[in-house]
C-alpha cells in the first residue's frame, strides 16, 4: 500500500479528482492507491466539503476488502481524520510514527508525504488484510 501511495506523491490536487493524470483529492488518492493494488473502490463522484456527519467510509472501504484497524496506526493504514469542525480528510499512514502520512494537500495543490498537523484527530482507520497483525 505504501509503495502504491508513494507513487502518487507529486500528483496534482484537484477537488473531487479521481484520475491521477488530471488530479486527485483525498478520496481520489485512496481510490488510486487501491486501484494500483487491484482493489477497485467505488467512490462517490461528488460530496459536500463540510458536514456535521462524517462520511460512511467503513462500508465503502469494506467493499474493497479493508477492515477496521485496531490499535496503533501502522504504515499502510487508511485513516479518516477531522481537520476542523465539520471537515473530514483521508490519508495513508506511511511510517511507524503515526504523524507521517501521504495525503492530498489542497494548499500545496499536490499529493504530499510528511508530518500531519497536531490538531487533526483520527476518527477511524482501515487496513488491508495483508497488513493485519
Where do the domains of the chain lie, and which CATH numbers do they carry?
Answer: 2-131 (3.90.1720.10)
Q: CA torsion angle for 92, 127, 35, 112 (degrees, to 10)?
A: 0
Residues 24-37 have a mean pLDDT of: 96
36, 4 contact by CB (below 8 A): yes
- Per-residue pLDDT of 66-100, as tens digits, reads 999 988 889 999 999 999 888 899 999 999 867 89
Three cell numbers, residue 50: 463540510
Per the model's pLDDT, the better-predicted residue between 98 and 19 turns out to be 19
3-state helix, strand, coil in the chain (%, to 5): 20, 30, 50
Between CA 110 and CA 56 the distance in angstroms is 25
Residues 95-108 have a mean pLDDT of: 91
Amino acid at each position: 500500500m505504501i509503495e502504491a501511495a508513494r507513487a502518487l506523491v507529486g500528483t496534482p490536487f484537484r477537488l473531487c479528482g479521481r484520475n491521477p493524470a488530471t488530479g486527485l483529492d483525498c478520496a481520489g488518492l485512496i481510490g488510486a492507491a487501491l486501484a494500483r493494488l487491484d482493489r477497485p473502490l467505488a467512490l462517490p463522484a461528488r460530496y459536500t466539503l463540510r458536514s456535521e456527519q462524517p462520511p460512511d467510509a467503513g462500508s465503502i472501504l469494506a467493499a474493497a476488502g479493508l477492515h477496521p484497524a485496531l490499535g496503533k496506526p501502522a504504515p499502510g493504514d487508511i485513516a479518516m481524520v477531522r481537520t476542523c469542525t465539520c471537515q473530514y480528510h483521508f490519508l495513508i499512514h506511511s511510517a511507524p510514527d503515526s504523524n507521517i502520512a501521504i495525503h492530498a494537500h489542497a494548499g500545496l495543490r499536490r499529493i504530499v508525504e510528511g508530518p500531519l498537523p497536531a490538531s487533526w484527530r483520527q476518527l477511524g482507520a482501515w487496513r488491508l488484510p495483508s497488513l493485519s497483525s
